[in-house]
Amino acid sequence: MRIALFLILSLFTQSMWGQWSETGGWLGVEVDQRLRNDWAWSLQWENRWDADLSRHQRGILDASIEKKLFSRITANVQYRYSEERTRTGGYTPRQRLALRLSSEGQWGIGKWNARLMGSQSLGPSIGANDTPWMEVDESVRFRFGYQHDWTGLWRWKTDIELFPDFETFADQKTRFRWLFTRQVSKALSASIGYIWSQQWNAVDPQTQHILKTNLSWTLDRLKKRKKSKTKIPSALVMVGEQGNQVAPVVPPVCTSGAAYVSEVHAKGQPADWIVITNRSESWCTLKGWRLTDSLEKSGLEFDAIVLPPQGKWKGYEKGQGSFDFGISADGERLFWIHPQGQIQEIQVGPQQGKAAQSIDLLGRSMHAGWPEKD
């Protein structure tokens, strides 16, 4: 990770020099949705200003559809319609088609991400002298970045994007970005960031400082309808190795070190299921504990469920005495909340195969667990 940060800072420092610069602003709104079979779509509307935010530069409408090809490779096709302001004050429509391949993976406390993009103009073309700060539609660009979740609500992301021009080296450009995102609700997120853009070796280097803001709304993921005839089992308590001990008349509430979410299955049969384990050698009750997929919802609040030493509680989605929210097969966050208010964030990874995901004491997925037996 230190090497990657060093490379990013080196590229940033190398291109700090510039003979003139200006300030711009980007304001966007986006809606997206996960579909079945690893498909997704998104629609984004964005307006951009330049000349120190005094002049509207262009309006953009992007429509994208993507497909997850492998565990870490996603292909995205994007159509862009934009209206570019010319030097004479009018607007000229432009169209572009782009293919983007992206990948990400765990690295240290966060995730790395990379994207390769190629685009082609669908016309009409605009000359370099027709509009200021024209972004070339026929291009190949590469982006590499890193992101980290501060809490369940905040995350930051930084990346650097290179625009190599294979015909004219002087026209190559670098774009450096910092982005901060606040999860307002389960569906709505707001982002604000700073983008720094500059040509590498032009005779008259141009630098642009951009303030970017964006609102993103994620629709509920489409799920396959489960057969109405399938009966969802009720929640149950499974006895551990010390099951022959006699339970106390009034067992204490399970501590944070004793009760934890140990198993999650996002494609369980006949429904998604979760297991909570009492890892202690004593009886305890889950009374007052809560399990939810959003801090804005109460979720499942346990009543006087008593767990024996090494015992387990297993609940199915919408089963009697269990939780009522679904678990995304693409991965998501759950929250395990102590009666006194302490919150543990559970990081559920993408579902892989038919086995459940084991969760460690810190709430991290280990992608190993029980075989599917219901």
C-alpha to C-alpha distance for 271 and 177, rounded to whole angstroms: 41
Share of the chain above pLDDT 90, in %: 55
Per-residue tokens: 98: 């782009």
CB 145 within 8 A of CB 155: no
Place of tokens 């994207």: 115
Where residue 280 falls among pLDDT bands split at 50, 70, 90? very high
C-alpha to C-alpha distance for 298 and 278, rounded to whole angstroms: 22
CB 328 within 8 A of CB 266: yes
Instruction: Give yes or no for residue 202 having a pLDDT over 60.
Output: no
For the ranges 8-17, 119-128, 233-242, which has the lowest average pLDDT? Answer: 8-17
C-alpha to C-alpha distance for 149 and 144, rounded to whole angstroms: 17
- Give pLDDT, residue 14: 46
Helix (H) or strand (E) holding 115: strand 110-123
Please name the residues in contact with 147: beta carbons below 8 A apart, sequence gap of 6 or more.
110, 111, 113, 155, 156, 157, 158
- Give pLDDT, residue 3: 44
pTM of the model: 0.58
C-alpha to C-alpha distance for 260 and 275, rounded to whole angstroms: 9
State residue 11 phi and psi, 5-degree precision: -65, -40
- The string of DSSP letters for 76-90 reads EEEEEEEEEEPTTS-
- Give pLDDT, residue 318: 93
For the ranges 141-155, 197-211, 352-366, which has the lowest average pLDDT? Answer: 197-211
What domains appear along the chain, each with residue ranges and CATH number?
2-218 (2.40.160.40), 236-358 (2.60.40.1260)
Reduced to 3 states, what is the DSSP secondary structure of residue 169? helix
What is the average pLDDT value for the chain, to the nearest integer? 84
Place of tokens 């300030």: 23
Helix (H) or strand (E) holding 213: strand 206-218
- Give pLDDT, residue 200: 61
- The string of DSSP letters for 299-328 reads -EE--S-EE-TT-EEEEETT-TTS------
Tell me which of 229 and 147 has the higher pLDDT. 147
State residue 353 phi and psi, 5-degree precision: 75, -160
